[in-house]
Structure formats: structure tokens, C-alpha cells
Structure 1
């Protein structure tokens, strides 16, 4: 296992429901199966990350299948790039585990890790998806050994780019998912006077070379309740007036575009 102690950075060994390092630091495994590797001094707030209410809304939306094409595409992408053996893959900002579980199914001989700063998210994920090793931790300080991971997946999640280059093996991969130009443009039209398309991401990652990029775009027909849940999941929620929420909630159907950009990077 490639987990390291968040305090001294020594390797962690799992023994009888605890994770322990040579320096004597110990982290108990919760009854749901996850481990909390977020020390108090690294939290930044009392309960960092998404609230339980937000997480439940996200799970309900994802369970309805609207983002299943994205989930399948991410899992297939990894399976195509990685060998069929005992690879180690990290999903940063995994939330309640929807995408992580699909990655684990696509790589049955590998070890999948899901990381999120929100304990409520990791608790939900660990209860449902037993094939994944989930941990509460900060994406700014990844609790993984140097050059220990075959791939890292970043779906809309914040990260520390120096940490990505530290933990991914030479020749390993980083898969990012970002909004495509037309993503949820119909929601934007309800909120802004002028709708601007998402700008193409022209990002680079130090130590990585871009090897592939794909677009995934398709229409979604949402119920009013699911449209509200989707809006809750987006940054647009902070800008939406009460009238927008009411319009969505009372609608029988809401049609909008899903548009994603998947970019594959390889560690030099």
C-alpha cells in the first residue's frame, strides 16, 4: 500500500483495523471502512468540504444516470491506458464515490483510492463501495508516497500541482475532466444576461506532457427536481435568484447540454 502518514510521511501499514507508521502515529479505520488522514491542523475549517445536504443531492442526481456517459468514458479511458495488473489509481475529490466505483470495476486487479476533504462524503462512499480504499485527506497534501501511483484522476477537483507530479510514477497518467464550451449553457441563460461559452482550458502541468484530449457532449432531459439538484452542484448556485430555483422546481422537464473535456497527461 502506498499510503503515508500525514504527520511524518513514513509509510503506513494496515494492521487489525488501524493504520500505523514506524514513528508510532496511528489512524483508526472507521466502521464504514475508510481512514481519516486529515490532521486537525490541516483542516482549515471545522467541517471542510461539501455539506451532507449537498452530498445527498449530488448522489440523488448521479444515481438518476444523467452523468453515466461521463462515468463510463472515464473508466474506459483508464482501462485502455493502464495494464491489467496491480495498478494503483487515485481519484482526487471523489465525493460520494460515483466515478471511483466505476474505475474500480474497470480495473478489477488494481487498487483504487478515493480521497476527499469532506468526511461526510467519504463516509457515504465507503458505506456503498467496498472495493475502494477511501480516505479523508487534503488534495493539497496527498498522503501517498513519491512515485507510487500509476494514475490520478481529477474531475473538477482542486489540487496541488506539485503534489501530482510527486506522487505519479514516471510514465504514469493524469486524467482531468473540465467543462466543455457548452456545458449547462441553458442554466447560464437563466442566470446571466449574456451567455458566454466556457473558455477552453489551456493549462499545463509541470512534469507532464499532454497525450490526448476528447470531448463528450450530449443532451440531458431532467425532471424539475433533478434540475434543482444539478444547479446545487454547480458554482452557478451562488448566482441564481430565487425565481430561477422556482422556475426549475416547477418545470416538468428541463433540457440542457452536458459538455465535458477529458484530457490525458503522461508523467515525463
Structure 2
């Protein structure tokens, strides 16, 4: 099982602590008897009660994201996120009662798990400045299709199908770092689960992101004043510490342009036949500018 990660979990039904149950090592049980069995692919489904109003990523969207990220196009972004998150894991604060010792990271909206993988590799022995840091990892996403990929990529993490807009199944003050890469942000819950001195690391697109292909492929544009809305959504719970802008100039094959369009929020609504037709007409390589901002926040006292 995942004893370090499980020590931070709460039952999504009664909010009691969870622990391994049964002899298989694939069941989580709380003192009230609520039980959760791991799916064959290794993740746990913690969705309970009324479902979210948000639509989970479909299988083809997740497959497109997995193939695009596995090709390494956004690897510099993953490395940059890991570089900003790792120092907070190297010197974790004193664990809260019952939450277990050591460093813990929550990847909220983990998707296929690639960004969490980069952080776990960085903190593993031989991984870099924070190498050898024991890290308990929790990957959380609303899409079971994404969690199937994430559980395989990050078997040392506990991977949960869960809704970020519901109370998170994580104990108060149990987490040193919350990572949010192109995912929804529940400021109150992130502040609750972070320990004093913890860090929230958020990735958002900047103006001009994917501008060369966004319009013709039907991708969603960058909303005006996005930074102001990010700050407003976190105000009252977090203060900004630092930010890093990262620009990637990519040369994408036609298939990767199609994956880029399909893997994001627009993938829920794209006309697949029209996208295929457009992709088939593209040149062998298309120049695409990826523009990111990584912002680090700390909880307010």
C-alpha cells in the first residue's frame, strides 16, 4: 500500500482517517467501516454524493494529453514546476497530529500525472538538489481515464478520483505543497490542507499561448485579465511569493497539433472530423509558442 500517503487521507463519506484494510493491500477503510477498493488500474474512486457540475476529461482527450506530454514537449515546464515545489518538500514543517511525518505533496488536477512524476523524480535519490527527500504523494483528478494513466506513471503515489470543488479527502495541515497545473483552484480547501509555511504552485497560460494554432483548431483563447482573476480567486487565503514566466518555442508535427487541441478544455466540444481535416492539411512542422506563468503562493496567517 502507500502508508505515507494514506496517513494524510480522510474518508470522503464521514471525514474520519483512512488506513489499509484487508489482506490484499488494495483496500482503504475508515473506523466507521466505509471501504474503498482500488480499481484494477490502481486508483481509488472517492466520488460520493452529488456529482460535480464539471465534465470530466474523456478517454480520447486523456490519450491525446498523455501522448503529447510523453513526447516531452512540455518537459521544461514540468522541470520548472518541480524546481519551485521541491524546496518546500526538502524542509517540511512539523506534521499535524495524525497526518504522519515527512513531506507530502498534493497534485490537484493531476491529469495523466506527468508533472507529479517530474517532482517525484527530482526528489528521488540522484534526482537533483533535493534528491533523497522522502515524499508522500497524492494525485487527485475528476477523470477516471486520467487516473488510469496517472496510477501507472506514479505507482508510489495514492491516486484518487475526486472533485476539487468538494471537501478534499485530506486532513487539515497535512500537505507541504499543493500543485495546480491548468486545473481548478479551491482556495479555501487548499489553505486548509496546507501546513504553516506550505506552498501553492499554480501554472496558468499567458497571453499569446498557442496563438499560432488556437484559432484555427478551435482551442479556447486566454481570458483578459487572467492574472487579476487568479489573484482575486485566492485572495483571503493566499499571498503571492514569486512568479516565473516560461516561454517554449515548439516545432510540432501535425499529429501533435491535433493532440494539443484535443487535450485541453476545448476537447469537450471540438468537431473531431473537422480537426482531423485541418491536421491533415498542416505542413510537416508548425511553429507554436507556449507561454506559461508559474506562481508560488503562501497561505495567509
With normalisation by structure 1, the TM-score equals 0.90
1:101–1:132 Cα contact (<8 Å) kept: no
What is the Cα-based RMSD across aligned positions, in Å?
2.4
Note if 1:259 corresponds to 2:291.
yes
Structure 1 segment 81-230 matched on structure 2, within 5 A: 81-83=88-90, 86-108=102-124, 109-141=134-166, 142-190=168-216, 199-202=225-228, 203-204=230-231, 205=234, 206-230=236-260
In structure 2, what is the equivalent of residue 10 of structure 1?
16
Q: Is the 8 A contact 1:180 1:198 kept in 2?
A: no
The one-character-per-residue Cα deviations of 1:172-219 (angstroms, maximum 9, x if unpaired) are: 110000001221011235368xx8885441233122111001100121
Alpha-carbon distance in structure 2 between the residues aligned to 1:42 and 1:253? 45
Instruction: Spell out, residue by residue over 1:115-147, the C-alpha distance to the aligned partner (whole angstroms, 9 max, x if none).
Output: 011112112211232122211111112100111
Partner residue, 2:129? none
Paired residues in the alignment total 264
Alpha-carbon offset, residue 44 of structure 1? 3.9
1:72–1:92 Cα change, 3 Å: same
- Partner-residue secondary structure (3-state), 1:164: helix
Identify which range, 56-65 or 103-112, moves more after superposition.
103-112
8 Å CA contact 2:138, 2:158 repeated in 1: yes
Please state if 1:31 is matched with 2:40. yes
Judged with a 3 Å threshold, the aligned counterparts in structure 2 of structure 1 residues 185 and 9 are, in CA distance, closer, same or farther, namely same
Gaps of 5+ in 2: 1-6, 93-101, 125-133
CA distance in 2, matches of 1:19, 1:196: 41
1:61-98 alpha-carbon deviations (Å, 9 max, x no partner): 11111111101111111113332562100001111111
Structure 2 CA distance for partners of 1:126 and 1:8, relative to 1, 3 Å: same
1:21 is aligned to: 30
Report SS of the residue matched to 1:190. helix
Does the 8 Å CA contact 2:105/2:178 hold for their aligned counterparts? yes
Q: How far is the alpha carbon of 1:166 from its aligned partner?
A: 1.2
